[in-house]
Amino acid sequence: MTAARDLGGLTEHEFGFVARTRPRRRDGSAWPCPWPWRRRLWLAGLVAAVGWSLWSAGVGRREIVNPGGWTIFARFWKAAATPDLSGGFLRQTWEGALTTLAFAVLGTALAVAIGVVGGVLSSETWWRRDRARRGGRTSVSRGWLAGRAVWGLPRGVHEAVWGLFLVNVLGRDPLVGILAIAIPFGAVTAKVYADLIDESARGQYDALRLAGAGRVASLAYGVFPVVLPDLASYAFYRFECSIRSAVILGMIGAGGIGLQLSLSFQSLRYREMWTLIYALVAISALADVWGASLRRSSSRRRVGASLRAGAALVVASALHLGPDLGRLASAGTRALLADLAAASFPPSLPAGGWGGLVRRSVETAQMSVLAVAIAAALAVAAAFVAARGGGGAGRRATAAAARLLLLVTRAIPPPVWALLALFVLFPGPFPGAVALGVYNFGILGRLMTEVVENLDDRPHAAIAAAGAPRLSAFAYATLPLSLPRFAAYALYRWEVAARETVVVGVVGAGGLGRLLEQQRAAFDYGGMVGTALALVAVSILIDLISAAARRALR
Amino acid sequence: MDGAAVALDRVRVVLGGHAAVQDVSLAVPAGQRVALVGPSGAGKTTLLRLCTASVAAESGSVRVLGADLATASAADLRAVRRRIGSVHQQLDLVGPLRAVHNVNAGRLGAWGRARALWSLARPAEVDAARRALALVGVAGKMFERTDRLSGGEQQRVALARVLVQDPDLILADEPVSSLDPARARDVMDLLVAVAADGRERTLLVSLHDFELARQSCDRVVGIRGGRVAFDLAAGAVTDEIGAALYRLTTG
């Protein structure tokens, strides 16, 4: 169990499914207190990282705001009141929305399929030797470690990068968008599912194994019935992420609403953009409501209905997109893959050599630090405002407005935020960080709002019942109970933000993403592989730091 | 002041459509220790929650520490609550805070906001907190995180919180329900010691353990189906009365 936790730093906090309680020692006692100075050191380090990133981005040292862009920036926001509602464009929006949704549905379905198979194969439960060893050590075989290691690389590469590579092999086909979502998401899902299987009650599985049942049968009877609601709930969470990814993939050519967004942006038709943005908000809201109902009461009946609806959606999406499955194994694909492999290997360095690559990598890391700092600062404030529960009509209206704001900020894809930021900020990593910060504010804000809503309210009630003023009760109960989970979410999101820098980079906001886009335009495939590997290295490094920080701050 | 710390008069409480408490009248003189006993779901918790106005009476009157809770203003209610210390079944401590802050949470009703916030950075009234923790036997755990303490230690921190609050009335909702008999005995003794620290405070405690109620309290009130089944001095309660209270209704 501890092994799964150590390796699964990401999954444990990703959605709070796996471990809501603090781990306890086998005899039930609490773990000893870590040295407080270690926590302080971590906090100081994180603050210093934000300061260093701000300084490097030139904040306070040179001109950042570009006053020339304000008029066009204002024009974009004014168009929000007058979206293009002509019949023709509404029909196009509807078509685009269907295409985007279809990509998300098929990408998720494939990711979940990969997740179930891969999750079982990389779970400790599957590989555990069922014969005790001398010394009483429970042992897992090497197969388990291998299964775990396999998921690192596909997960570290962003969907957009997968899309850029796959389009060179498969050509312009819906398969590109589907696989670009399914490969990285399948890897993440497999890891989460493995943890869910391992964390579920072992007793029943072991009892069946002892009675002589095979591994598959024991899983089917002893484990899956227990974890099914959690698996379904996580699959749905992935679907919500897939919608956002499908929009981004659309912007780089896969079609759907994303493509329409970038076309409207290029031709400065802001009223059309707002029609599309409102459509995205509606889709996100719908997915939110569906997912929330699934999570709140994961009753068997509702999970079953959602699974059936999901299956119907998969069929409809496949008919709508019509991916050419023959391409996967065709001679042409094989030839293109061979060409690409020949052109890509060995990976090469960008123009500046190692120095240039390291400089861009550092820039990427700094962008992610700033993005998460901006997102977390805004989200903590928003979470307490947006949380449901209690209060008069005024309080409820404010909360609803805050939730709408969060919904809109995460419905607008990061490349659009980056293009907007580039109107009013001079190019460089800073506008990229701002764009990612605003987008992640929408996501973190929503996660943190859920933390506040699900908070145990009894400690607060006890303190309030002893006559404490509202602010004091907030400071002694609500705040200390929510801050550790806020920190965990922000640190988890930091790693995601590092991977996302690539999608604001491709529109020119700096970092490795910018480099990748330049190399793509120059057909420098070897360079692209090198840059992608650097991105993976940066996100693995950040993942390690973030996991260590989460352990220290827990 | 009529001398009663708690005075319930023909109180009826409806929760979720059914009557949780019906026609209960109960007067607890200041300084008395009263045990509420009865089967699960009898309405013991509801009776205790009535005393802090956490649930409202449908009819009848609830007077606590001289104030009529139905008509008390918000300021009056806060003033009354400041004088009531609560110990809950689930302890209701804030896990990520250090023990000293959980103890000091008992002082929040008396402290101003600024003082409360500053104390999170530089703990105030440390001596009082240390004395309270020493009295319940966990002086060494003052600066440890509360969720890293054992269950028994957390129980003691919850009692120390009541001590520093220095209330006139202590309400304890099944404080020993999850403990083995020896530890339950121990915690009840501490609770009685807390109630008697410096002066005699009124104690209203709900218990499952009949024997413990008889030993620790002056008076035992049996609750069943939201009504008072009996109300006797601790010495007058017999085993037969207890058995009758817990007997399952048939038919």
CA distance A539 to chain B (A): 30
The pLDDT value given to residue A149: 67
Indicate the range of A71-75, A219-223, A416-420, B94-98 predicted with least confidence: A219-223
Average pLDDT over residues A56-84: 85
10-residue stretch averages of pLDDT, chain B, 251 residues long: 80 87 91 90 88 88 89 86 83 86 89 88 89 88 87 88 90 84 86 87 89 90 90 86 74 36
Q: What kind and span of H or E run contains B33? A: strand B33-37
Spatial distance between the Cα atoms of A275 and A216, rounded to a whole number of angstroms? 49
pLDDT tens figures, A456-491: 888 888 888 888 888 898 999 999 889 888 988 898
The minimal CB distance from B108 to the residues A33, A459, A466 is found for: A466
pLDDT tens figures, B30-73: 999 999 998 888 888 899 989 988 888 889 999 999 888 888 88
Measured between beta carbons, the chain B residues lying within 8 angstroms of A478 are none
What is the separation of C-alpha A444 from the centre of its chain, rounded to a whole number of angstroms?
Answer: 10
Amino acid in position A283? I
Query: When comparing pLDDT for A225 and A131, which is higher?
Result: A225
Measured between beta carbons, the chain A residues lying within 8 angstroms of B101 are 476, 480
The minimal CB distance from B78 to the residues A458, A462, A467 is found for: A467
**Checking DSSP bridges between strand B67-68 and strand B59-64, what pairing results, if any?**
antiparallel
Measured between beta carbons, the chain A residues lying within 8 angstroms of B157 are none
CB pair distance less than 8 Å for B96 and A483: yes
CB pair distance less than 8 Å for B147 and A466: no
What interface predicted TM-score (ipTM) does this complex get?
0.76
pLDDT tens figures, B168-189: 999 998 888 777 888 888 889 9
Angle between helices A353-386 and A511-521 (to 10 degrees): 130
Token pair, residue A520, equals 């793509």
The minimal CB distance from A466 to the residues B93, B106, B117 is found for: B106
Peptide bond between residue A346 and the one before it cis (omega within 30 degrees of 0) = yes
The pLDDT value given to residue A148: 65
Amino acid in position A77? W
To the nearest 10°, the Cα dihedral for B53, B55, B57, B62? Answer: -30
Confidence of residue A12 (pLDDT cuts 50, 70, 90): very low
Average pLDDT over residues A75-89: 90
Average pLDDT over residues A7-15: 35
CB pair distance less than 8 Å for A463 and B105: yes
Spatial distance between the Cα atoms of A310 and A325, rounded to a whole number of angstroms? 21
Residues in contact with A233: Cβ distance below 8 Å, sequence separation at least 6, in sequence order: A17, A291, A294, A295, A298
Q: Which residues of B touch A (CB under 8 A)?
A: 52, 54, 78-82, 84-86, 88, 90, 92-97, 101, 105-106, 108-109, 111-113, 116-117, 120, 144-145, 147-150, 165, 167
The pLDDT value given to residue A26: 43
Residues in contact with A152: Cβ distance below 8 Å, sequence separation at least 6, in sequence order: A540
Confidence of residue A133 (pLDDT cuts 50, 70, 90): low
Which residue reads 């962003």 in tokens? A158
| pLDDT reading at A377 higher than 80 | yes
Q: What kind and span of H or E run contains B37? A: strand B33-37
The pLDDT value given to residue B29: 92
Spatial distance between the Cα atoms of A2 and A492, rounded to a whole number of angstroms? 19
Torsion over CA: A322, A326, A329, A333 (sign): negative
Instruction: Outline where chain B has alpha helix (H).
Output: 44-50, 74-82, 99-104, 113-121, 126-135, 151-165, 181-195, 210-216, 239-246
CB pair distance less than 8 Å for A468 and B105: yes
CB pair distance less than 8 Å for A476 and B97: yes
Which residue reads 């005393």 in tokens? B51
**Checking DSSP bridges between strand B227-233 and strand B219-224, what pairing results, if any?**
antiparallel
Indicate the range of A8-17, A291-300, A416-425 predicted with least confidence: A8-17
Measured between beta carbons, the chain B residues lying within 8 angstroms of A466 are 81-82, 84-86, 105-106, 108-109, 165, 167
**Checking DSSP bridges between strand B59-64 and strand B4-15, what pairing results, if any?**
antiparallel
Whole-angstrom distance between the N-terminal and C-terminal Cα of chain B? Answer: 46
The pLDDT value given to residue B1: 44
Give the single-character DSSP code of B176. Answer: T
Residue A42: C-alpha distances to residues A50, A234, A483 (Å): 13, 31, 15
CB pair distance less than 8 Å for B108 and A459: no
Cβ proximity of A275 and A97 under 8 Å: no
Torsion over CA: B220, B225, B226, B228 (sign): negative
Spatial distance between the Cα atoms of A390 and A392, rounded to a whole number of angstroms? 7
pTM of the model: 0.78
Which residue reads 């981005």 in tokens? A57
Question: Helix, strand or coil for residue B205?
Answer: strand
Average pLDDT over residues A269-298: 84
Confidence of residue A20 (pLDDT cuts 50, 70, 90): very low
Residues in contact with B6: Cβ distance below 8 Å, sequence separation at least 6, in sequence order: B26, B27, B28, B51, B63, B64, B65, B169, B202, B204
Spatial distance between the Cα atoms of B115 and B111, rounded to a whole number of angstroms? 6
Give the single-character DSSP code of B149. Answer: S
Q: What kind and span of H or E run contains B86? A: strand B84-87
| pLDDT reading at A137 higher than 60 | no
Q: Which residue of A has its CA nearest to B166?
A: A466
Residues in contact with A55: Cβ distance below 8 Å, sequence separation at least 6, in sequence order: A61
Spatial distance between the Cα atoms of A468 and B108, rounded to a whole number of angstroms? 5
Backbone torsion region of residue B15, taken as left when φ is above 0, otherwise alpha when ψ lies between -120 and 50, otherwise beta: beta
Spatial distance between the Cα atoms of A367 and A375, rounded to a whole number of angstroms? 12
Spatial distance between the Cα atoms of A256 and A173, rounded to a whole number of angstroms? 13
What is the separation of C-alpha B225 from the centre of its chain, rounded to a whole number of angstroms?
Answer: 21
Q: Which is nearest to B193 in space by CA: B211, B170, B210?
A: B170
Indicate the range of A55-69, A143-157, A432-446 predicted with least confidence: A143-157
The pLDDT value given to residue A143: 64
**In this structure, how many other beta carbons lie within 10 angstroms of the beta carbon of residue A174?**
22
CB pair distance less than 8 Å for A30 and B147: yes
Q: Which residues of A touch B (CB under 8 A)?
A: 22, 29-33, 458-459, 461-463, 465-469, 471-473, 475-477, 480-481, 483-484
Average pLDDT over residues A318-334: 81
The number of C-beta contacts closer than 8 angstroms across A and B is 87
Q: Which residue of B has its CA nearest to A456?
A: B92
Whole-angstrom distance between the N-terminal and C-terminal Cα of chain A? Answer: 18
Interface-testing mutation among B108, B119, B120, B147, with chain A (most A C-beta atoms within 10 A): B108
Which residue reads 């929009």 in tokens? A247
Average pLDDT over residues A116-129: 82
CA distance A199 to chain B (A): 22
Average pLDDT over residues A135-145: 56
Confidence of residue A14 (pLDDT cuts 50, 70, 90): very low
Question: Helix, strand or coil for residue A526?
Answer: helix
CA distance A452 to chain B (A): 14
CA distance B191 to chain A (A): 18
The minimal CB distance from A465 to the residues B86, B117, B144 is found for: B86
